[in-house]
Structure 1
């Protein structure tokens, strides 16, 4: 779930994100321990150094590359720490409804990201439920999507009165090198629609 225009000092948001960050740290430690049980010993302090903040799987993967366990970050995910792989540990998370409510509570606009990664068997039903609690948009434009998939998602967005947004999924060249900043073009009308949704949520204040 993506949050646009959120008030980053909103106490409810700050406190919940702090809880999630602590959960990410616990998850990172558990993942390092699981990899050690597979014979892949990592230095936790080095993982923290690579993160420079909240620890995530990309930092574990980079530590693995440094030690020569894998050649690339992508290999680390594909062989060890991707979902369903032997070193994977579930992460703490919010339900979609909780995420929408948290974003709205901070004055933001809530958009569902990566709806086809993978596509839930009940995506239409899920969007109906989330639209009922105020979901504002759906990520329609994405570099990996075919024209047919974009058309499918645009139709779903229109059906549920959601803004059709998009993005390149750029997380840094060393994390996902196949995604380039600005690599996915999104109509400027999307920006205007997001600003309009924010103004409506704040009672006309843009």
Structure 2
């Protein structure tokens, strides 16, 4: 995407990196604002780096089963992130397919999961013997407006007891 933007006359230098953070489109969008190429990150996505926009780079996607196999082969624990934001089918229908493919957990606690959804996901975890996780989709500070951070790291104050089973599962595989 950086090459595409440069060839379109919008060169960028990405200087914000953390040692363990992969750079993604939000970082590119923030760099575009910082460089004065756009007025907002939303504009960057809408005009340049959103899907089907001129600088977007399509990538080959793989199936959920292939992703689960890759994660497990790497010693990781495959967890379905924010299942109620998934657009590929109903959770109740997709979950058994993912479990059969080797899914090991579900992100139960998420800002878009109200109490009813959290309780349903907890029941699924019990029914399918899955690990429970939680998150906020925290991707670091909004570089444009760091004071207006939408979600905070561990805003749910989840207990560390949720982490231990995940660590154990990673060791087993």
Normalising by structure 2, report the TM-score: 0.74
What residue is the counterpart of 1:11 in the other structure?
Answer: none
Give yes or no for contact 1:28–1:56 (8 Å, CA) kept in 2: no
For structure 2, list consecutive stretches of 5 or more residues without a partner in the other structure: none
What count of residue pairs does the alignment treat as equivalent? 167
| Alpha-carbon separation, structure 2, partners of 1:116 and 1:87 | 30
Rounded to whole Å, the distance in 2 between the matches of 1:84 and 1:116 is 25
Distance (Å, rounded) in 1 between the aligned partners of 2:52 and 2:119: 30
SS in 2 for 1:165: strand
Note the 1:134-149 alignment, pairs <5 A: 134-149=102-117
State the partner residue of 1:106: 74
Q: Is the 8 A contact 2:105 2:131 kept in 1?
A: yes
Q: For 1:39-188, list aligned pairs within 5 A.
A: 41-44=9-12, 46-47=13-14, 49-50=15-16, 55-77=23-45, 80-83=48-51, 88-174=56-142, 177-188=149-160
Deviations 1:70-94 (A, max 9, x none): 4433453366534466754434444
In structure 2, the partner of 1:6 is none
When structure 1 is superposed on structure 2, of 65-74 and 51-60 the one drifting more is 51-60
Structure 1, 77-86 or 138-147: larger mean CA deviation: 77-86
TM normalised by structure 1 equals 0.64
Unaligned runs of 5+ in 1: 1-26
CA RMSD of aligned residues (A): 3.1
- Higher relative contact order, chain-length normalized (CA < 8 Å, sep 6+): 1
Residues 139 and 165 in structure 1, CA contact (< 8 A), matched pair in contact too: yes
Which sits farther off after the overlay, 179-188 or 49-58?
49-58
